[in-house]
Amino acid sequence: MADPRVVTPAAGALSLQETFAPVPTAAWEEQARNDLNGRDYAQLLLWRTDEGVLAKPFYRSEDVAGLEGPLDVQPGTSPFMRGHATAWHPADAPAWASDAIRADRLHDAGATAVQELAWAIAEGVERLLVEAAPGDTPVAVSAAGIEFVFAVGSTYFVEIAKLRAARLLWASVLRAFDVPGHAMRLHVRTARANKSVLDPHTNLLRATTEAMSAVIGGADTLLVEPHGYEAHLAVNVQHLLAEEAHLDAVADPAAGSYFIEALTDSLAREAWALFQQVEADGGYAAYVDSGQRDRLVQASAQAREQAVAFRRRTLVGVNSYPDLEERMPLAEPGPVDHGDGSLPALRLAAPFEAMRRRTARHAAATGRIPVVHLLTRGDAGVRMARANFCLNFFGCAGLAVTQGAALPTGADLVVLCSADDAYPALAREVLSRVSVPVVVAGHPTALVATLASIGVEGFVHARSDAVQTLSHWQDRLGLAP
């Protein structure tokens, strides 16, 4: 009698397309809308990257129809979007030539992925033109000697697509110069702008995902830089990717992902448009001399800083989920490359680190850390949600945070955490019994004027600029600059 646990395969190849009926995209979208119970599908599930590329919650075959880079191109063949078909080379120090094109410095300064791509390619084109101008150096020889350095940040899929797009764009340039057989020499390192002296183990987690992006994106060499953790852990990241994740055994692991293929194409198109603008303005050197590059980088950096200050972008341990027991270390977070001095390096955590240092200096001088008390009253769900928000918020400045329903005796600042309709009566009660400033968690628009007239001195909510608000309260609590 046959073993019932053994399933005999049917004759011929298994075809999932025959087993499952096709589901049109409209049906998936309709199901998503039903699951959202009438909430706005576009607002909740569609989002834009820093580059302005629209990202969707799911991708289908129609999203990759007509892409410039054919989906059936093999690794190791032009346009080399899928890499060399060989594993990356781990590095424990910079492996690039001194004259390499340093797109990583653009990343450090706050440039978007599109800007990094466009300007790196534009600089490469200028290098080819300058070296070929005397007529002594064939373009093919110049192309073979050009190396590129990119940094990868924490936007995982964008960074994968960025490196693939870089190869695709450079191959397009070389085809225009009639030297299609040369692949981009691509060195990659982990980012610096998103690292902090706070919570070094989170830095290690960031570096791990960044290294994965680099490997999947097709790096030729990879440098994982330690930021606050032991150097051997940076080396071990690459060992784990190779020996446990086996990413060195797969050529182009992202191949066939509709999302990554579409994202690669979108970044390449946007970067090519910016590259053409640079060329129309006289080439990369003239573009830089005009100040246009630096103005765009500054605008991008400011947007990134604002996203962190308003906590639209989370830096774990820095602007959200701080370790309230952690003390500021003396060491800097990691390597600093001052480059050519034209582009200042961006450190997104710096404003929060400055506030933590300010609180630490005050504690050393006075013997105590200022205390913020979260006064929790009323509806349990609302008060706890607002208390948790404020615990994270004020903890980001290194302030001590207590909470409870009783009025505090040793607090320096009281934050009311309750439902909106309970705030006027609660504010009158508390302000009649304490001499310290009182603020409200949330922003009840209809009650702002009333609460201010009672004596409430501020509001803390999801739209608050954390750097500005926390710095203001450090001033009010008497912390020296």
Fold agreement between 61-309 and 361-476 = no
Distance CA 246, CA 428 (A): 63
Which among 372, 398, 402, 392 is positioned nearest to 461, based on CA atoms? Answer: 392
| Model pLDDT for residues 131-176, shown as the tens digit of each residue | 877 666 788 888 999 999 999 999 999 999 999 999 999 999 999 9
- The radius of gyration computed from the CA coordinates of the chain, to the nearest angstrom, equals 27
CA atoms within 13 A on the CB side of 226: 12
Distance CA 440, CA 420 (A): 9
Distance of CA 311 to the CA centre of its chain: 12
For residue 332, what pLDDT is reported? Answer: 62
Q: Indicate the domain borders of the chain.
A: 61-309, 361-476
For residue 5, what pLDDT is reported? Answer: 46
At 1, the pLDDT band (50, 70, 90 cuts) reads: very low
Superfamily classification of domain 361-476: Cobalamin-binding domain (3.40.50.280)
**Token duo for residue 360:** 């630490």
Q: Cβ distance 245 to 253 under 8 Å?
A: no
| Model pLDDT for residues 81-114, shown as the tens digit of each residue | 888 878 999 999 999 999 999 999 999 999 999 9
pLDDT at 238 over 50: yes
* Residue of 55 and 18 predicted with greater confidence: 55
| Model pLDDT for residues 183-237, shown as the tens digit of each residue | 899 999 999 999 999 888 999 999 999 999 999 999 999 999 999 999 999 999 9
Mean pLDDT of the chain: 91
DSSP β-ladder status, 54-55 and 47-48: antiparallel
| Model pLDDT for residues 2-11, shown as the tens digit of each residue | 454 444 555 5
pLDDT at 341 over 70: no
For residue 8, what pLDDT is reported? Answer: 52
Superfamily classification of domain 61-309: Methylmalonyl-CoA mutase (3.20.20.240)
Distance CA 153, CA 240 (A): 19
| Model pLDDT for residues 183-198, shown as the tens digit of each residue | 899 999 999 999 999 8
For the segment 421-442, the average pLDDT, to the nearest whole number, is 96
Burial (Cβ within 10 Å: 0-12, 13-18, ≥19) of residue 467: buried
For residue 80, what pLDDT is reported? Answer: 82
Q: List, in sequence order, every residue forming a beta bridge with 148; answer none if it has no partner.
A: 101, 186
